[in-house]
């Protein structure tokens, strides 16, 4: 029986409400700012009620606002961000699940050492190793290319670790039964491990897609060709105007639109995401 403690219930809900307000307030301000004109935003504090320029601002950001700032079309930058996020997500999942499969089910020299080397790279994010990574990408002629944008970000020690921990919970009897039925390693992986890993793949896909979608520093370093600009780069360049007034209403409209794909991914994959993070018994 769950003990009823009104004060703790009130305290829990109070913390949740305060946390929600802290997270939601910047989003609300961005949405409201995207409905006003530039003179309103520059002449006073940011208003807290919607304006009358909603259709105008969103039409401009989707058509000519990017070109006016020397950027590609907004939809082109959104497509670049989508391609980058999808390639990074699929690449990370594929490499991580195969790496974990090899580490758990194959016996080869220095198997545990290989895993711990992968695990140690958790302490070396892109920002730490960015200079040597950039040097390698430049020497290989991968600047201003999809390979340069995605390949250095594909490896994932976190996903490898999570898949390894899951594979270690799979009963050995399944492997023995597959061997008795004449299944080889890849058939066992395809027919048994992959279906069992569906919730894990779903949860990781949400996290990794958002990781790829919001990438800013790495694309900024390896891309100078406007044809490869992502949304994050476009939003940054819209607020670094040398001469003239920054059109904050368009920046906010672009930011609001850029938030939609991750939000939709979380909404449509919410069930798999929660199950993948909470299930302990398979």
Do 14 and 78 sit in the same domain of this protein? no
Q: Which residues contact 52 (CB under 8 A, 6 or more apart)?
A: 35
- As a whole number of angstroms, the distance between CA 155 and CA 192 comes to 24
Is pLDDT at 43 greater than 80 in this prediction? no
Do 117 and 18 sit in the same domain of this protein? no
pLDDT tens for 206-222 read 999 999 999 988 998 99
Query: For the domain that residue 77 is a member of, what is the CATH number?
Result: 1.10.3720.10
Do 170 and 49 sit in the same domain of this protein? no
**What is the per-residue pLDDT for 74?**
87
pLDDT tens for 154-204 read 888 888 888 988 898 888 888 888 888 888 888 889 888 998 888 889 888
pLDDT tens for 72-107 read 888 889 999 999 999 999 999 999 999 999 988 888
194 assigned to some structural domain: yes
122 assigned to some structural domain: yes
Q: CA 266 from chain center: how many Å?
A: 11
Question: How many structural domains comprise the chain?
Answer: 2
For helices 54-62 and 74-105, give the axis angle rounded to 10 degrees.
Answer: 70
Do 268 and 142 sit in the same domain of this protein? yes
Is pLDDT at 1 greater than 60 in this prediction? no
Do 179 and 195 sit in the same domain of this protein? yes
Report the percent of the chain where pLDDT is more than 70: 92
- As a whole number of angstroms, the distance between CA 236 and CA 66 comes to 12
Could you say which of 46, 67, 88 is where a domain stops?
67
Output the pTM of the full model.
0.86
Q: Which residues contact 63 (CB under 8 A, 6 or more apart)?
A: 73, 74
Do 224 and 112 sit in the same domain of this protein? yes
Report the percent of the chain where pLDDT is more than 90: 25
- State which residues form the domain around 99: 69-280
Got the DSSP string for the chain? -----HHHHHHHHHHHHHHHHHHHHHHHHHHHHTTS-HHHHHHSSPPSS--S-HHHHHHHHHTTHHHHTT---HHHHHHHHHHHHHHHHHHHHHHHHHHHHHHHH---TTHHHHHHHHHHGGG--TTTSHHHHHHHHHHTT-TTSHHHHHGGGT--HHHHHHHHHHHTTS-HHHHHHHHHTT--HHHHIIIIIHHHTHHHHHHHHHHHHHHHHT--HHHHHH--SGGG--HHHHHHHHT--SSS---HHHHHHHHHHHHHHHHHHHHHTHHHHHHHHH----
1 assigned to some structural domain: no
159 assigned to some structural domain: yes
Could you say which of 25, 47, 67 is where a domain stops?
67
**What is the per-residue pLDDT for 150?**
92
Do 61 and 73 sit in the same domain of this protein? no
């Amino acid at each position: 029986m769950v003990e009823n403690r009104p004060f703790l219930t009130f305290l829990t809900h109070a913390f949740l409400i305060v946390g929600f307000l802290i997270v939601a307030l910047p989003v609300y301000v961005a949405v409201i700012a995207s409905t006003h004109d530039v003179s309103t935003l520059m002449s006073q504090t940011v208003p807290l009620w919607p304006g009358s320029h909603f259709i105008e601002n969103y039409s401009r950001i989707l058509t000519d606002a990017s070109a006016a700032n020397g950027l590609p079309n907004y939809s082109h930058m959104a497509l670049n961000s989508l391609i980058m996020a999808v390639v990074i997500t699929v690449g990370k999942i594929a490499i991580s699940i195969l790496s974990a499969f090899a580490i758990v089910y194959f016996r080869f020299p220095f198997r545990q050492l290989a895993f711990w080397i992968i695990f140690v790279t958790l302490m070396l994010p892109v920002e730490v190793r960015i200079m040597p990574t950039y040097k390698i990408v430049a020497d290989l002629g991968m600047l201003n290319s999809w390979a340069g944008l995605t390949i250095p970000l594909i490896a994932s020690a976190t996903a490898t670790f999570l898949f390894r921990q899951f594979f270690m919970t799979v009963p050995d009897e399944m492997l023995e039964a597959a061997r008795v039925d004449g299944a080889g390693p890849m058939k066992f992986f395809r027919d048994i491990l992959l279906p069992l890993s569906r919730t894990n793949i779903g949860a990781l896909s949400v996290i990794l897609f958002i990781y790829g979608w919001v990438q800013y520093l790495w694309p900024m370093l390896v891309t100078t060709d406007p044809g490869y600009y992502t949304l994050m780069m476009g939003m940054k360049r819209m607020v670094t105007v040398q001469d003239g007034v920054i059109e904050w209403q368009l920046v906010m409209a672009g930011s609001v639109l850029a938030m939609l794909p991750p939000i939709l991914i979380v909404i449509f994959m919410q069930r798999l995401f929660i199950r993948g993070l909470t299930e302990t018994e398979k």
